[in-house]
Structure 1
Amino acid sequence: MALWFCLAPFLLSLLCPAWSTTAEDMDYGGVPLWIDRVLGEPSVMSLQGRSLGSSWFRATNPAPCPTQCECPIQWPTAVYCDHRGLDHAPETLPDRTQYLFLQGNNVSSLSSSTLLSNVSGLRWLIVDNNLLKTLDQDLLQNQTKLWYLFANHNRLESAPGGLPEGLRQLRLAHNRISTIGAGVFSRLHSLTVLLLQGNRLKAVSEGHVSGLLSVTLLDLSGNLFKTVPQHLPPSVQQLYLSNNSFSSLEQDSFSSYSHLKYLRLGHCDLQSPSVHHDTFNLFSLLELDLSYNKLTTTPTVPPTLLHLYLEANHIQEFNVSSFCRDEGPGSYSRLRILRLEGNRIRPHELPPDWVHCLRVLQHLYI
């Protein structure tokens, strides 16, 4: 036992990094990046700051590796060039490269002529937190096995084109994107995750998203929308629109999305008179976030809703009819979590019959 306590600090120093990166550097657009060990997918954590330095990696892996990068033997198809202050990407990569980590540098361009000239099986390209203004349209068009392209926290002004058809995730959060060219996404039939939050978009037309047949997660938070964008992919299940300024929500604002389960509309300057009473009457909806708005009364929601977040509004009127349309023992809401803290209503002001309507409620915050 004593020997274990003596060895523990040493083992931890080998296994655990002395983190020098920030949470923003590793958030990958705010959505977790799940890895499949069966497919041999590598660690998404930076190798920088670990006790085992580049000399150790080179000593244990005789395969060629760019001098400014690390190629751990346990992930032979991964090349880690992240968080090294690089102004340029490596000129060439080993032909075995499937996972390329370039985030946290000062790279302002990626040359299509040399960077991937030896590579045909690239699956991940992560270039978050760089200085990229554009992505060369010819850079990736031949990378037919590419699944993930992450370019969050750059300076992109438009959505990149020429992307391979098999792409599964495209993460472009926190750039300067103000336009999406017609047909840019038209071939991306397999795309499931599209992150565009923190950009400068004002509108999304039907031509912008045509071809997106499989998108289930779409994040458009923190843009410049004044009205809810229409013509979004009908397959969407998670739609995030927080931190926009919507003047109103119409009856049909979300009626086209029959698979919608999670809807976020926090920090959108919403007021009760401008929200149609049937806006959220979507029986597929499981979770609705309307926090930090200017609502004065509880909105009408479907009885199948499970989680409702209304904190930090101006609510002073609690209507049972917002949750239960009919009377009787068979009419009740399935709501499990209701957040009302930071409003203008107190527990003793709730109508007495709310307990019958919300009979399966597990958590009430008020």
Structure 2
Amino acid sequence: MDVMLLVLILSVCGPVWATTIDMDYGGVPLWINRFLGEPSVLSLRDRMEPGWFRAVNTQSCPLECDCPIQWPTALYCEHRGLQHLPEGLPSRIQYLFLQGNALTGFNSGVFANTSSLRWLFLDRNQILSERLEPTLLSNLTRLVNLFMNHNNLTEVPTGLPRGLKQLRLAYNHIEKISPGAFQDLRNLTLLLLQGNRLKTVSEADFKGLPILNLLDLSHNNLETFPKHLPPSVQQLYLSGNDLTGLSEDCLQDFNGLRYLRLSRNRLKNQDLASAAFNVTSLVELDLSYNQLTQIPVVPTSLQYLYLEVNHIREFNVSSLCRTVGPTSYSRLKILRLDGNKMAYHQLPPDWVYCLRVLHNIYI
């Protein structure tokens, strides 16, 4: 069965929530609530004959777009080579798909008639920061998802709607966060900024995000671990930067950090404080593809530890278990040590007492 057909079936007949695999959309799937009338496909390209839509749908629809009767509040204008937003956008639309065009910016007032918008997809255009007016989206008070991945932005847009829950700005050229850009986004739970050019994070950059859950800063140019991040973050991704170490207080302000990804940096043991990862809420820690020569000290509550492709030569049990006893042992389920400078026969005999609930170890 075609995979996309399976997703469509699940969204109609299956659970309340389904995920799209139509495109990566910044690397994090978009969950779809079919009971809210959310469309279960994010692109009609190569799926249905456009002429069929116009033959069976009597609602107004711009000539450059498609208006499927299955989703009467959705407007599909994606992959059309558009350089300007279509005129006469219907006021009924809640889901606007404009990805894969040649848009560089917008004239003022272009969204004046679309105050009901909930999703706005602008991925893979050529949008420039200087072509975005601060008040461009100000009337979109119902907007919850804004997608602007793979554009030419050099700074985070300002004047974003306060109701946003997801903001995806991955793979642009963002070098700075505009002052107060996130100040009023009290509902934002997901923020994607990976693949940009951020070098530093100032104290005020992420103010105003009280319930942010996932923050992706991977593949930027950060040389030091960013402080002043929202304490509510549970998933923090910093892979592919230029970090060499972490101080003892880098993670101490987080309320419940669970997933931390630091792969493909330049981390070295001598620049890691001994208590750098002493966060009992941590479930998963990814330190793969770094320059570590020893297993760093991690909390015994950790369940997934990825250390592949470093320069580790020995297995030091004390990094995983300070003591071993009836209730003193590591909760690790997965431990990856493959691609290092050690072999299975080098494991000390007492490792099994420390890792007594381990499911898989890779050496």
- Please classify the TM superposition score into its range, dividing by the shorter chain length: over 0.9
Among candidates 334, 343, 360, match of residue 346 of structure 1: 343
**Equivalent AA in structure 1 for residue 101 of structure 2:** N
Do the aligned partners of 1:251 and 1:276 also contact (CA within 8 Å) in 2?
yes
Tell me whether 1:185 sits opposite 2:197 in the alignment.
no
Question: How far off is 1:117 after superposition?
Answer: 2.2
Measure, in 1, the Cα distance between the counterparts of 2:284 and 2:266.
19
1:269-308 deviation digits (Å, cap 9, x = unpaired): 1111111111111000000000000100101110000100
Q: Which ranges in structure 1 are unaligned for 5 or more consecutive residues?
A: 1-7, 17-22
Measure, in 2, the Cα distance between the counterparts of 1:162 and 1:92.
24
Report what 1:128 is aligned to.
123
Q: Which ranges in structure 2 are unaligned for 5 or more consecutive residues?
A: 10-19
Question: How far off is 1:61 after superposition?
Answer: 1.1
**Equivalent AA in structure 1 for residue 97 of structure 2:** F
Question: How far off is 1:88 after superposition?
Answer: 1.6
* Closer/same/farther in 2, CA of residues 153 and 277 from structure 1, 3 Å limit: same
**Equivalent AA in structure 2 for residue 220 of structure 1:** L
Among candidates 80, 85, 88, match of residue 76 of structure 2: 80
Report what 1:46 is aligned to.
43
Among candidates 86, 93, 110, match of residue 106 of structure 2: 110
Count of residue correspondences: 347
**Equivalent AA in structure 2 for residue 216 of structure 1:** N
Do the aligned partners of 1:92 and 1:117 also contact (CA within 8 Å) in 2?
no
Question: How far off is 1:353 after superposition?
Answer: 0.3
Do the aligned partners of 2:42 and 2:97 also contact (CA within 8 Å) in 1?
no
Alignment of 1:25-44 (within 5 A): 26-44=23-41
**Equivalent AA in structure 1 for residue 59 of structure 2:** A
SS of 2:220's equivalent? coil
Alignment of 1:226-245 (within 5 A): 226-245=223-242
Alignment of 1:180-259 (within 5 A): 180-259=177-256
Do the aligned partners of 2:303 and 2:333 also contact (CA within 8 Å) in 1?
yes
Among candidates 288, 309, 322, match of residue 285 of structure 2: 288
**Equivalent AA in structure 1 for residue 118 of structure 2:** R
Do the aligned partners of 1:25 and 1:104 also contact (CA within 8 Å) in 2?
no
Report what 2:92 is aligned to.
96
Do the aligned partners of 1:85 and 1:106 also contact (CA within 8 Å) in 2?
yes
State the identity as a percent.
Answer: 58
Question: How far off is 1:163 after superposition?
Answer: 0.7
State TM-score, norm by structure 2. 0.93
Measure, in 1, the Cα distance between the counterparts of 2:300 and 2:133.
49
**Equivalent AA in structure 1 for residue 181 of structure 2:** V
Do the aligned partners of 1:185 and 1:210 also contact (CA within 8 Å) in 2?
yes
1:189-244 deviation digits (Å, cap 9, x = unpaired): 10000000000111111211111101000000011111001100000000000001
Question: How far off is 1:331 after superposition?
Answer: 0.9
Report what 1:260 is aligned to.
257
Tell me whether 1:337 sits opposite 2:331 in the alignment.
no
Q: Please, which moves more after superposition, 353-362 or 248-257?
A: 248-257
State TM-score, norm by structure 1. 0.92
Question: How far off is 1:25 after superposition?
Answer: 8.2
Q: Please, which moves more after superposition, 177-186 or 231-240?
A: 177-186
SS of 2:35's equivalent? helix
Question: How far off is 1:24 after superposition?
Answer: 11
Measure, in 2, the Cα distance between the counterparts of 1:25 and 1:63.
26
Measure, in 2, the Cα distance between the counterparts of 1:172 and 1:142.
20
Do the aligned partners of 1:25 and 1:103 also contact (CA within 8 Å) in 2?
no
Measure, in 1, the Cα distance between the counterparts of 2:95 and 2:266.
42
Do the aligned partners of 1:307 and 1:335 also contact (CA within 8 Å) in 2?
yes
CA RMSD of aligned residues (A): 1.8
1:336-365 deviation digits (Å, cap 9, x = unpaired): 000110000100001110000000000111
